[in-house]
Amino acid sequence: MTPEQQQQLVASAREVRANAYAPASKFLVGAALLTDDGRVFVGCNVENASYGLTICAERAAVCAAVAAGARRVVAVAVVTGLADPARPCGACRQVLSEFGPDMQVVLAGTGESELTTTLAKLLPDAFSFDALEP
């Protein structure tokens, strides 16, 4: 991922964060994915009164990408309203690994700092369909 692509991803995640629906937690999250063909897909968290039906921004972005035919993600940016960047939850890490176990992860908050890491560092030894083969 180029520095320009990283800037675009973070900007896209910041922009879509404003659309998040979080009446219970007030914790707005935006995510932007970069696919292997250069497309960017965004998602925001959507809470539900039945808390288990809430969807995180990262998984919403994955759903948008898959609906458009994407199958490989090379990077994701996640932006929250915290001063220090927050990490994706475990469910999001697992779903992201399905589409890019070695993807770059850029985490940003309201401050100037950004944390860049990899999904493999956030989710070592991820479960995959390979584990289901006899």
> Token pair for residue 43?
């998602």
Q: Collapse the DSSP code of 78 into the 3-class scheme (helix H, G, I; strand E, B; otherwise coil) and give the result.
A: strand
At 30-86, the pLDDT tens digits run 999 999 999 999 999 999 999 899 999 999 999 999 999 999 999 999 999 999 899
Residues marked active site are found at 58
Query: What separation, in Å, do the N-terminal and C-terminal C-alpha atoms of the chain show?
Result: 36
pTM score of the predicted model: 0.93
Q: Which uninterrupted H or E stretch holds 95?
A: helix 90-99
